[in-house]
Chains A and B, each alone.
Chain A
Amino acid sequence: MTRADYFAILFAVLLLPYLYATQWTGDKAGTTASIMNGDETTHASLTENRTLQINGVVGTSTLKIEDGKIRFTASPCLGKQCIHSGWLAHAGEFAACLPNRISVAVLGEEPRFDSINF
């Protein structure tokens, strides 16, 4: 190991806690799912059980919301990795179907709106 190797390891060791501190949101139960289709984001409450059909680039992806959780149940992609991601229930959890350009993130504490007009 050279001196530069030690520096590289030190860099990695410093970077990881920094990333966790700034990007990690813990496992608070989520309240809303933010669903992104292409460039368009929509939101769905996780309290309402239902099935969503979303038309993406290559076909229709199906998302299921059940008892505060959300998951991909059908997808036109080849790898089906989005379905293998399973249920998402905690804030920060994320699943995506890359070929269909559809992604789902569970949002926690942060309310959907900064202010309500009525």
Chain B
Amino acid sequence: MNNNPDGTADTKTGITITTTPEDHLIAWLAALAIAIHIIESVLPSPLPGVKPGLSNVITIVVFVLYGWRTAVWVSMLRVLVGSILIGTFLSPTFMLSFSGAVASLIVLWLASRLPGDGLGPIGLCLLAAMAHMFGQFYIAYLLFIPHEGLFKLLPLLMTAAVVFGIISGIIVRSMLRHLEKDANDITAPNRNEQE
């Protein structure tokens, strides 16, 4: 997030944007999400392009630490950059990643409005993973293969979503425990909205 259009002019005009440790962390998390996105793209799936959404792990860490708006940025950045790097930008695969990301962000937004204790990492990951899977599935059905046979895959895909959702929930929980210590040094405005 170092906004520095002209490196040479920098020292003379003195326009420097200082980056906070928070910015660095978000950049790191986005990069990590993109890496996971790329790794995930080579995983086989019964329905091409439909993925379990392991990069949701990062989206949810960001959501818990910095709130929903930042999670949207990281998630969209991940989908865009990830697909440009793989070369699937604007292809059906990209549309599926995008719709999955949007669906899980909608669920996260709903979760952020929950009163009381709200959802912990496991509940967030589980619901986001299911939304992610269903979003991809439904867009695949609507836009690409409106074949009734597709619905036969839904139970398997949703089972995968539940399993991956719980696994990523456990990962997120332990990541948050580690980050919590570091994060204590950072001023995180939206942190722990629900907790």
Tell me, yes or no, whether B182 is within 8 Å of chain A by CB. no
Pick the contact of A4: B44, B48, B118, B148 (CB < 8 A): B118
Tell me, yes or no, whether B58 is within 8 Å of chain A by CB. no
Pick the contact of B149: A34, A81, A85, A98 (CB < 8 A): A34
| Whole-angstrom CA separation of A18 from B78 in the bound complex | 33
Residues of the B chain whose Cβ atoms lie less than 8 Å from the Cβ of A92: 149, 152
Tell me, yes or no, whether A64 is within 8 Å of chain B by CB. no
Tell me, yes or no, whether B6 is within 8 Å of chain A by CB. no
Q: How many A-B residue pairs have CB under 8 A?
A: 109
Which DSSP category, helix, strand, loop or mixed, fits chain A's interface? Answer: mixed
Which DSSP category, helix, strand, loop or mixed, fits chain B's interface? Answer: helix
Pick the contact of B155: A11, A23, A36, A39 (CB < 8 A): A23
B92 near A99: Cβ-Cβ < 8 Å = yes
B49 near A19: Cβ-Cβ < 8 Å = no
A5 near B120: Cβ-Cβ < 8 Å = yes
Closest 10 CB pairs of A and B: A105-B149, A5-B123, A8-B123, A92-B152, A81-B48, A2-B117, A19-B155, A103-B145, A36-B147, A98-B92
